[in-house]
Structure 1
Amino acid sequence: MSISTDLSSVARSLSRRKKLAILALATVGTASLLVVLWQLNNSILIGVPENGGVLREGVIGAPRFINPLLAISDTDRDLTAVIYSGLIRKGKDGKYVPDLAEHFEVSADGKTYTFYLRQNLTWHDSEPITAADVVFTINRAVDPAVKSPRASNWEGITVTAKSDRVVTFTLPQAYSAFISHATIGILPAHIWKNIPAETLAFSELNTRPIGSGPYFVANVKNTNDGLPVYYSLLAFNNFALGRPHIKEIDFYFYPNEEELVKAKEKKVIDNLSGITPATAKKLGRFGTRVEKMPLPRVFGIFWNQNEAKIFTQTEVRQALDQSLDRQYIVTNILDGFATAIDGPLPPASLGYETKNLQVEPIGLRIKKLKTTLAAAGWQKGADSILQKKVGKETWRLEFTITTADTVELKAIATLAKNTWEKLGAKVNIKVQDVSDLQQTSIRPRKYDALLFGMSTAVDSDLYSFWHSRERTDPGLNVALYANPTADKLLEKIKTEKDPTFLAGYIKKLSTEIINDRPAVFIYSPDFVYIVSTDIRHLELPFITIPSDRLTYIYDWYLATDKIWPIFVKQAEVASTTIKVN
């Protein structure tokens, strides 16, 4: 008798109930097996970025110069950052990584930099990128007719194309900060070469750019008046560092913070920046994803001894400095989106040292400082304002704080005024919009005290802000600081390549400046970025300017796909060999 006959006989002998029981057991067994197989499969599969999706970025202001040589506003810089590529780009650790250049070399004397371009690079219009484009860009940058704000970075530097893929920069002397300038976006010479330098700023290419960055301009929507509403950018498949994961990035433009926040609340945009700390705190309370990083900026009140002689008195600078509660400003005016400082270096910069800035209660603090001022000859006048006899003159402790028309700076100026008037000073406040402040106060150095911020380079090259040669426009030494020891340290910092010596020089410089008190250093702000909760692999580099947040946008993605490990390498290869748009 066959096995099949025996099974049939057994099956006929079973009752209906037993048959159902066996069927149920078989079903459960099969389902369990499938679950185990599914779990095993999931444990083996690897999550990889899925290409696609749309990200909407909201910014304040409309673009005017989407051009690496001319970009000034944050909006211009944002679009320039994603449309253009430089020879190198800022790394996530504050160093620099290859971009259009696959690598570079520095001569032993630090005066010659040689960059080697990657093979098969193209512009968004599919034309090849060569070393001639690099030479053209730098020559345009230094052309006085272009009036590029980056011209000073390239003065005295000779750029030469050794071949289609090799370009060298020869410096008049070693300069440690030069490498940061090589991040400048490169222009396509074949498009710009026929546009005269004198009319370069008026070209429509400034608003319809062609670059080689991770995204290219696909569409622009304007109002009836010709003002841009948004730019739609698509991923550039032949981007030097690989095809971006997010398929489309749309930039929406708004006239002010209020309209920007409304767009976020209505879900018109996903990401936004350039907002006040108070707004960031408010949005954070509603579960919004808030990313923040310290900016290499130092805000303080800078004394102009040429306009207000009272600031030549050491005891005055000391009393004004020690009476201000920096931590109160950070906590109550800046809502915690800043770091209190008492020196010229921002946090995370080379040479920065953390200090405890807790102060005594204001009553006790003011009492001690009044005693110090009195000992130096400052006495109450008829109107209760402190005054001091200096030679044949009587100097009153009276001055004006000049600052920009922003909520935070006006609040800080008011707090400083109230604090210093408790000391016996008479303090006025002058508020100007940023453009007027720059043209009528900062450039001609017409202010008693300037509440403003300075941006320092990643390597803490503070030459422009503190060297005595920079006291007049276009220099940035707004405190009109002059100290021979500081000058020598600044000159060493500018050329020193050894990180250990560089850090030592910077610390000595910081100590020298703090001892002289040419300003009341108050805080270093945080960069605040409101972002979509869907964004993955959002890694921000060291932020110098807001557009730095977009440095690694090509690595961001909105969704993941799961594949077997054996297919991961194939997927990576496919993403790097896909054809040009």
Structure 2
Amino acid sequence: MQDFFRNSSGKRIGHRTLLLIFGFVFLVTLFILLRKFYNANTVIVPTNGGTYIEGSVGNMQSLVPWFTVTNDVNRDIVSLVFSGLLKYDPVAKKIKEDLATLRVSAEGKLYTVKLKEGIVWHDDTPENPHPVTADDVVFTFQSIQDPDFPNQILRQNFLGVSIEKIDDRTVQFRLDEPYSFFASNLTLGLIPQKAFEGVPISKFDQVLDFAFHPIGAGPYAFKSLVPTELSTEITLQRFERPIPPEHRLNQVIFRIFPDYSTLLSDIRNLDGVRNVPQDEVGNNLIPRRFIAVQYSLPQYVALFFNLDKTILQDKNLRIGLQKATNKQMIVDAIHEKLVVDTPLLELDATDWRYVYDPKAAQGAFFESDWNLPEKVRLQRLLEKHEANSFGALKISPIVLLDTGAILAVTGSLLDADVGSTLNGLPISVHPDNPDEWIAALPTHGGTGSLKLGDNLVRLLDKKGNPIDSFYVWRTADDREYKRASIEQDFLERFIRTRNGDLTGENSITVADLYLEKGMLRRRLTTDPFDIRINSHGDRLSLVLLTSPSPPQYQKVANLIAAEWGKLGVHVSVVIPKTRQEFEDKLVSREYDMLLFGQSLLDNLDSYPYWHSAGMQKLTDSKFDLRIDAYNLSQYSSIAADGLLEIIRKTGDDKERQDALNKLQDVLRDDVPAIFLYSPEYAFAYHETVKGIELQSLSLHSDRFTTIHNWYLKEEKIFKPGKSWWSFTPWLFTSL
């Protein structure tokens, strides 16, 4: 038996060595089993910790909710530092509770908010408690109502609202009229009253200590602002609050770069990138290991008609311009995807889609008395041809006669007796045919003379009553006569084509003709398109104003000008050099058409943009101009106004939906604008960041409404009901 335990060389193996071998095998087996057990009975879950760093391009500005009016990185920071009474939920697409609960009266005019317990400001300490109170709520909103408040646009949201403190945690907002979207106004971040004590309201936007070191009640507290060589760095620290949800990231750092190239140079130190740009072919400019998420906001870009302009008050012209706009070509050119046909973005417009139709556009232009010069010329030729086709006079419609020559005209005496006159000259019996008359029309001037150009030859009876008339065009130039002869040939071929007597290559339509030096010839591919004119001789020329940014606007404006130019509409594109110059022209309505975007925010309220109350009141004084006049088309409709008021006031979902459907029909029929597209944006994050789902955003900053789901760190935990004590039962069931 002892000989059995030998090694390969024949030597005996000792008991201690044998025990070591068995012990090693047992431990390895146990480790494998434990690992298998652990992997089978645990799950990976997010855990707290880590710092998320996001890069963006822009400028550091005031971090005060009152004055964060642009949809940029500053609003992103404000959304984390400050919290409102309520908040927008991009998952449910509704306004929900945040720092307070909300109760709305049955008639929709009384909004009662009650602060949740234990809410404090970021500077709260055991030694110096600083709770969020009803006084802070009243201060935040009553300050906005003051006539001296620096942000007059925000002030408009609280006109006709009385604010009353009920107790230390309860505030009531009483509205003069029901307003179903008022809850959206209560998402504004609350501001501590103590931070502005002793400051005049008119100077609130100048409190720089607070603006660049803000104190809020949001999930993250402001920690530092540090300018670096490449960027401005703002660090936020997680702030423990007694209300859900719990946030996992310890810190959020924003790095604001001057341009995207500088941002990319620091990409290794970033976890996310805000508003990723595209290259020339529409691909997102993101590095490897970053994931790009496309999203859209409730926004649309449109071409607004200024209905104060007489030329654009013609509905048929507006319809023609709409039909002449190739939206798909536009979105493809600027690498967008979402074509928009209505400003009411909550509606499903699949039952009615805009159709690009240049032929229908030309028909609408014709109905509005705007015609291409070729069409006008052809119409006049047709009228003359029609007039010349009937009656006693038979003359060549074009003649080549030098000055001093005469044109002999003959006719039947059955139609005109001797004593009748032709152009005031008496007719006589033809010397070679007694049944005909003859008259000689001079070219040297005087009675009956044919002048160069158009002439109307009149045949009158003895009593001076008209018998017939005939249009004759005269020239003394051989080249002009040749051009006129070619034009007459095209006229005849057009008539035969129209009557169905001529088809194929020899047929002629208006599109085949080009007006040159007052006469028609066949159009060449190199010929430009002339500008349409009306019966008064006015040219169809429009001024299109757009903003210097974003750069896509300039490209879209030029595309529209080029496409409409092919149909005879001249568009002068005006792009001011500065934003201020553009806003001056915008406010004073110095345009025929405006290419611009509008944002509906979370409530999708179209009232400010399409109700007549939003029209600019134009007077002789620029001080009467309103910056909050958002009705960019100067559109006024009793029907639209009534429907917009119902949509704002009603609390009945069915009534609101019915009003929206009717409003869409009204706007579609009135054509106050051409709605083009809804911009798409891209947000990129590193693959190590987990839990990001953007959902239905209303602002770029809304991506942070779900930041509590974001995480950088993970850990394994046992499944419910499992622990290390479960190993032995698991082992026996596995054997």
The farther-off stretch of 426-435 and 211-220 is 426-435
**TM-score under structure 2 length normalisation:** 0.69
Tell me the alpha carbon deviations over residues 458-499 of structure 1, each in whole angstroms, 9 at most, x when there is no partner: 333211000111111322000111111111000101101122
Supply the AA of the counterpart residue of 2:331: V
Which one of the candidate residues 655, 675, 681 is aligned to 1:501?
Answer: 655
Displacement of 1:298 in angstroms is 1.2
- Superposed CA RMSD in Å reads 2.7
Which one of the candidate residues 37, 41, 44 is aligned to 2:38?
Answer: 41
Aligned mates of 2:570, 2:683 — CA distance in 1 = 39
Displacement of 1:276 in angstroms is 3.8
Aligned mates of 1:421, 1:534 — CA distance in 2 = 51
1:238 aligns with 2:241: yes
Tell me the alpha carbon deviations over residues 169-206 of structure 1, each in whole angstroms, 9 at most, x when there is no partner: 11112111011111110001122233221221111211
1:461 aligns with 2:605: yes
Aligned residue runs from structure 1 range 7-18, under 5 A = 12=2, 14-17=4-7
1:478 aligns with 2:470: no
Tell me the alpha carbon deviations over residues 427-453 of structure 1, each in whole angstroms, 9 at most, x when there is no partner: 111113563255312111111110000
Supply the AA of the counterpart residue of 2:119: L
The equivalent residue for 1:399 is 542
Which one of the candidate residues 362, 365, 373 is aligned to 2:365?
Answer: 373
Segments of 4+ moved more than 4 angstroms: 17-30, 284-287, 355-360, 565-568
1:564–1:116 distance in 2 versus 1, CA, 3 Å: farther
1:259–1:22 distance in 2 versus 1, CA, 3 Å: same
Aligned mates of 1:262, 1:324 — CA distance in 2 = 41
1:502–1:35 distance in 2 versus 1, CA, 3 Å: farther
The equivalent residue for 1:97 is 96
The equivalent residue for 1:323 is 324
The farther-off stretch of 200-209 and 13-22 is 13-22
1:427–1:438 distance in 2 versus 1, CA, 3 Å: closer
Aligned mates of 1:316, 1:458 — CA distance in 2 = 34
Q: Is the 8 A contact 1:527 1:543 kept in 2?
A: no
1:70 aligns with 2:67: yes
Structure (1 or 2) with the greater helix fraction: 1
Which one of the candidate residues 642, 645, 665 is aligned to 1:491?
Answer: 645
The farther-off stretch of 25-34 and 140-149 is 25-34
1:418–1:355 distance in 2 versus 1, CA, 3 Å: farther
Supply the AA of the counterpart residue of 1:170: R
Q: Is the 8 A contact 1:305 1:312 kept in 2?
A: yes
1:16 match: secondary structure = coil
Q: Is the 8 A contact 2:223 2:236 kept in 1?
A: yes
Q: Is the 8 A contact 1:404 1:437 kept in 2?
A: no
Tell me the alpha carbon deviations over residues 479-524 of structure 1, each in whole angstroms, 9 at most, x when there is no partner: 1111111110001011011222212211211121011111111001
Aligned mates of 1:463, 1:130 — CA distance in 2 = 33
Displacement of 1:277 in angstroms is 4.3
The equivalent residue for 1:108 is 106
Displacement of 1:33 in angstroms is 4.2
1:242–1:366 distance in 2 versus 1, CA, 3 Å: closer
The equivalent residue for 1:88 is 86
1:314 aligns with 2:315: yes
Structure 1 unaligned segments of length 5 or more: list them. 1-9, 569-581
Displacement of 1:352 in angstroms is 3.3
2:285 match: secondary structure = helix
Supply the AA of the counterpart residue of 1:342: D
Q: Is the 8 A contact 1:214 1:554 kept in 2?
A: no
Displacement of 1:141 in angstroms is 1.6
1:59 aligns with 2:56: yes
Q: Is the 8 A contact 2:79 2:704 kept in 1?
A: yes
The equivalent residue for 2:468 is none
The equivalent residue for 1:421 is 565
1:196 aligns with 2:200: yes
Supply the AA of the counterpart residue of 2:681: F
1:486–1:160 distance in 2 versus 1, CA, 3 Å: same
The equivalent residue for 1:384 is 530
The equivalent residue for 1:214 is 219
Supply the AA of the counterpart residue of 1:534: T
Aligned mates of 2:364, 2:191 — CA distance in 1 = 59
The farther-off stretch of 91-100 and 286-295 is 286-295
The farther-off stretch of 480-489 and 279-288 is 279-288
Q: How many positions carry a matched residue from both structures?
A: 540
1:263–1:437 distance in 2 versus 1, CA, 3 Å: farther
Aligned mates of 2:326, 2:277 — CA distance in 1 = 21
Tell me the alpha carbon deviations over residues 520-548 of structure 1, each in whole angstroms, 9 at most, x when there is no partner: 11001123212222222213253222222
Aligned mates of 2:68, 2:136 — CA distance in 1 = 19
1:304 aligns with 2:306: yes
Displacement of 1:29 in angstroms is 5.9
Supply the AA of the counterpart residue of 1:459: N
Supply the AA of the counterpart residue of 1:259: T
Displacement of 1:321 in angstroms is 0.9
Q: Pick the structure with greater CA Rg.
A: 2
